[in-house]
Amino acid sequence: MAEQYGDNVSNRNEQFKNEYERKMRSCKVPSRIVLVFLLIYIAYFFVGPYSGYWFFYDPVLFVGICLILIIIYVILRAVAQTNINAYQEQLDWLNVEIQVGEVLASTLKALPDDYMIFNNVALNYNGELTEIDSIILSCHGIFVVDVKNYKGVLFGLESDDVWSRTKISKADKSYGGAIKNPVKQVDRKAQIVSNVLYKKGIRTDVEGYVVLPMADKVIVDSDKVFLNIIQLKQTILSKNQAVLSQDKVETIKDILMQL
């Protein structure tokens, strides 16, 4: 069983999920405060000790204040619902990412004992922050893995800057769009890892792979793209030729643990 280091993506997303849930609850607070004030005011108007005497209890004024409070309540509730819908969409996305992250972690953990997995690696290279889902290290090489939760049918070339994407909406309507080429993105991350190691005196190639578990179909001319994590695992295990000495593996491990 492979050793794992760092929090995986699903653990990080659990924190985001809790934060979104807290924000959703807080969205409802302003409208609820107005509603409670309105109900208290109505009750006090009819049963208060000075009911019908003080100017605050004038029927015309009472109706006017009630209307103002109702309008404020409706506006605040509408704003809250809009924000809640936006947060719910993010939550749905995070739930998918958490599930995929858990599958990724458990699948990679099943690699042999001589493999090491570094999860959720953040690299600050040349003043720019780069986040990597997983880096896999063994004597058989170094592999950078990016998981993208794109849905629909993806089409493109490895050399393209963008790929086209076709999705089916809930209303069963097809619509198109574009995404940045994930192969170029992971290749860039692999190159950054290679550059970081080179500065530490380690010269070695780093391979990049993309997993697209939510895609319906991927039409690309690349052997770096997989529809599921099992395919990724099989490809990594197929690299059975030792390219790094054990001493280099330990040195690279120390470097990665310090990132």
Query: Residue 241: which region, alpha, beta or left (left: phi > 0; alpha: psi -120 to 50)?
Result: beta
Give the SS3 label for residue 121.
strand
Q: Position 183: which residue type? A: V
77: nearest Cα among 30, 138, 8: 30
> Radius of gyration (Cα) for the chain, nearest Å?
27
pLDDT tens for 207-250 read 999 999 889 899 999 999 999 889 999 999 999 899 999 999 99
57 close to 50: Cβ distance less than 8 angstroms: yes
pLDDT tens for 2-32 read 888 876 555 566 677 777 788 888 888 889 9
CA distance 141 to 238: 11
Q: pTM of the entire structure? A: 0.72
